[in-house]
Amino acid sequence: MTTLAAARHELSIANRILAHEQVFDSYGHVSLRHPEDASRFLLSASVSPEQVKPEDILEYGLDGQTLIATTRAQYSERVIHAEIYRQRPDVQAVVHAHTEAVLPFTVTSVKLRPLLHVAGIIGDDIPVWDMNHHFGDSDLLVTTTEHAQSLASTLGQGRVVLMRGHGFTAAAASLELAVRVAMYLKVNAQAQQAAMALGPVTFLSSGEIAAVNALMGSPKATSRVWDNWAQRCGAGTIMQGVS
């Protein structure tokens, strides 16, 4: 199997993991920079994430346009991925989701901050991008390059940007790490809401977050986590025979 074929398989598994773990609902998408050409990325045609198969995955340029003409419906927010790959050469994978547990932190002044050691990878200071501040009243969908440039500039060099009344976008140096960041963003959001209902919360210190990232922030830090999630969503066997 070629590197590109393996990447298509891994990306379809990432879709299924994020759907099964309820980071995604019927919406949400995850992409991967092309393994052989940094000016391209891989993203599924418009299919619900738990249905994505390797053959659904299309190749895009960094302008968000498909490189081969297709009649397939496409995700309207694909420019999010394109612009982050364009602005961030270090990024290899991008997740965009509307995860329920994260949404309250997009519409209140309460900052989402890491309080679990495994969630230190989400970053020390997570910004919130409010589309209305930049573009006025809209349907809140990020569908133009101008929208995506504004979102990407708020993300800056970080891994996560929350989007007011919408969801979040995460970017990382590998597909495995991007999936892990999105997953623990959800877990941390749930734990933070539960903890705040009980009383004042002790968050990770900046030094603890740095130490966690030194250990767990590398692209392939915890392959057993990926393997376990893939098995749990029933996609583990898809990768059998792929090296």
Rounded CA separation 98/169 (Å): 9
Provide the sign of the torsion angle of the four alpha carbons 89, 40, 242, 29, taken in this order. positive
Vertex 15: Cα angle to 14 and 20 (nearest 5): 100
Cα dihedral 140/46/102/40 (nearest 10): -90
Rounded CA separation 243/224 (Å): 16
With both helix axes pointing from N to C terminus, report the angle between 3-20 and 223-232 in degrees, rounded to the nearest 10. 70
Residue from 48, 37, 40 nearest 75 by CA? 48
The helix (H) or strand (E) run that includes residue 58 is: strand 57-61
For residue 162, which phi and psi values (nearest 5 degrees)? -85, 150
Q: CB–CB of 63/83 below 8 Å? A: no
Q: What is the DSSP letter of 233?
A: T
Active-site hit among 50, 59, 77, 176: 77
- The answer to whether 83 is a known catalytic residue is no
Active site positions, annotated: 77
